Amino acid sequence: MLNIKKNTFAKRAVRLSALSLAVGLCFLTVGAYAAGFQLYEQSGASLGDFNAGAAAIADDATTNWYNPAGLVRLHHAQLSLGGILISTTNDFTGSVTDNIPTPFGIVPITQTGSVDGGTFNFVPNIHLAVPLGHGVVGGLSVVTPFGLSTSYNKGSVAQSSATLSELKTVDVNANLAIPVTKKFSVAGGLNFVHAVVDLNNALPTNFAFPPFRVTGSTQFKNRATDDAFGWNIGLLYQFTKHTRVGFAYRSQVHLKLEGTSTFLPNSTLNAKASLTLPDYAGLSIYSRVSPRIALMGTVNYTGWDAFKNVILKNVAIPSGMTVTPQNYRNTFNVIAGLHYFLSKKIFLRFGLGFDKTPTNNKDRDLRLPDSNRIVVATGIHYQASKKLGLDLGYLHVFANQASINQTQQGTLVVTTRGKVDTSADLFGFQASYKMI
């Protein structure tokens, strides 16, 4: 649930949907893309198979994030650095109606047209694994597990519903992995999460007669930030030398956001919000079925029902509060992958997945026009030396057309109707270095 307090015009801008990214220790990032506002892409290498088998592969330091129990398979300190370039399109075609209160009653003003709310972003990641002795291994990751970004131009048909919408997160995750037996390991850790929410739109403020029409608008900006903690666990079981199964779970993270709400140039008020990032779990299998082929698969679960409503308080209506339903539903993500080994130094990655949206046709809005999608991915690994491994990956998202039919109760009653065509292309790279 998202609860936000702000001024009269702050209402509409308060709908969480968005994405961007994080500032983490030594890096800054500005955005990303995923189903809902969850990001699976925490490694340029695993981008090449859409994270198929991610909780079981455990072949480099990125396992600290995907399943820290896999750290026990790393016998030398290892550093993994990577990044992902993300290009998205969110082409909206339809109408937005502002219902303007006048001395003569409510006058609806409808604009029709098309606008692209897509963005181009870079998402970095860093992972470190350090053996501590007696089979115990520590790990550290700095990643972006949640976020989303859409940006519609001021002056476009979409401006009353949304201009810039962003959720930025950075997660610093420290873990400790312990071998219980030669085949079974466990791990646990803590997550420090920093979050920033930006929710902007442009409200009509100047009008002309006749016909009654909007001739000007003013940007309405809202930003809030907070830090919070979560926890995670992992399990890994090695059935045979070539086959293993992994399970990883991450807890909810409860954020109490504070910041500013500004309707330029006239007023700036304090803004407050609460946001619960959902818990999620993944179950993976990896098997090297022949010298040339490895098969893998993953099922991910996300507890999206923690995000049901956007609640606005301290607004200029008799009740003093508005509630906008989101009604997100819990979802599963299913992925299958294959690695084909061309030689001891080179192998190819392939992945295919189905990503189910947590939103629904009734409550979907322009800030996050999410829909079910099919994902295809491919990549290549090159072992340059005993110490250095390099990866390139590519992923394309085929998303279903999303319908928008929503009325926002705010300073104005705004009705948005139309269709959004969404797609994304992701390009990843990774360098993993063993300290031997």
pLDDT digits (tens, 9 = 90+) for 328-338: 999 999 999 99
pLDDT band, very low/low/confident/very high, at 208 (cuts 50, 70, 90): low
What is the reported pLDDT for 4?
Answer: 42
Contact 46, 61 (CB under 8 A): no
With a cut of 80, say whether residue 26 has pLDDT above it: no
Among 200-204, 213-217, 279-283, 397-401, name the one with the lowest average pLDDT.
213-217
Q: Which amino acid is at 413?
A: V
What is the reported pLDDT for 319?
Answer: 40
Contact 336, 353 (CB under 8 A): yes
Query: Residues of 269-281 as b/e, b for ≥16 C-beta within 10 angstroms?
Result: bebbbebbbbbbb
Return phi, psi of residue 48, to 5°. -70, -15
Residues of the chain with pLDDT > 90, as a percent, come to: 62
pLDDT band, very low/low/confident/very high, at 378 (cuts 50, 70, 90): very high
Residues of the chain with pLDDT > 70, as a percent, come to: 84
Other Cβ atoms less than 10 A from the Cβ of 291: the count is: 7
Contact 327, 308 (CB under 8 A): yes
Q: Of the candidates 43, 67, 42, 121, which has an alpha carbon nearest to the alpha carbon of residue 285? A: 67
Other Cβ atoms less than 10 A from the Cβ of 301: the count is: 16
Q: How confident is the model over 417-427, as a mean pLDDT?
A: 95
Read out DSSP for 283-310? EEEEEE-SSSEEEEEEEEEE-GGG--EE
| Secondary-structure percent of the chain, ordered helix, strand, coil, rounded to 5 | 5, 65, 30
Give the Cα separation of 232 and 371 in Å (integer). Answer: 28
Instruction: List the domain boundaries for the chain.
Output: 2-434
pLDDT tens, residue by residue, 72-122: 999 999 999 999 999 999 999 999 998 887 777 788 888 899 999 999 888
Q: Which residue is listed with tokens 């609460």?
A: 274
Q: How confident is the model over 235-256, as a mean pLDDT?
A: 96
What is the reported pLDDT for 274?
Answer: 82
Say what the pTM is.
0.88
Write the Ramachandran bin of 384: left for phi over 0, alpha for psi from -120 to 50, otherwise beta. alpha
With a cut of 70, say whether residue 27 has pLDDT above it: no
With a cut of 90, say whether residue 228 has pLDDT above it: yes
Overall fold of domain 2-434: Porin (2.40.160)
pLDDT band, very low/low/confident/very high, at 316 (cuts 50, 70, 90): very low
User: What is the dihedral angle through the alpha carbons of 168, 172, 178, 180, rounded to the nearest 10 degrees?
Assistant: -20
With a cut of 90, say whether residue 206 has pLDDT above it: no
Bridge partners for 349 per DSSP: 339, 379
With a cut of 90, say whether residue 218 has pLDDT above it: no
Return phi, psi of residue 183, to 5°. -110, -20
What is the reported pLDDT for 212?
Answer: 61
Q: Which amino acid is at 308?
A: K
pLDDT band, very low/low/confident/very high, at 145 (cuts 50, 70, 90): very high
User: What is the dihedral angle through the alpha carbons of 124, 79, 277, 227, rounded to the nearest 10 degrees?
Assistant: -90
What is the reported pLDDT for 36?
Answer: 81
Write the Ramachandran bin of 265: left for phi over 0, alpha for psi from -120 to 50, otherwise beta. alpha
312 versus 431: the higher-pLDDT residue is 431
With a cut of 70, say whether residue 323 has pLDDT above it: no
State the DSSP code for 242: S
Q: Of the candidates 411, 23, 10, which has an alpha carbon nearest to the alpha carbon of residue 223? A: 10
pLDDT band, very low/low/confident/very high, at 3 (cuts 50, 70, 90): very low
Distance of CA 395 to the CA centre of its chain: 15
Give the Cα separation of 275 and 291 in Å (integer). Answer: 48
Give ∠ CA 145-236-296 in degrees, rounded to 5: 75
- CB-hemisphere CA count at 13 Å for 100? 19
What is the reported pLDDT for 308?
Answer: 82
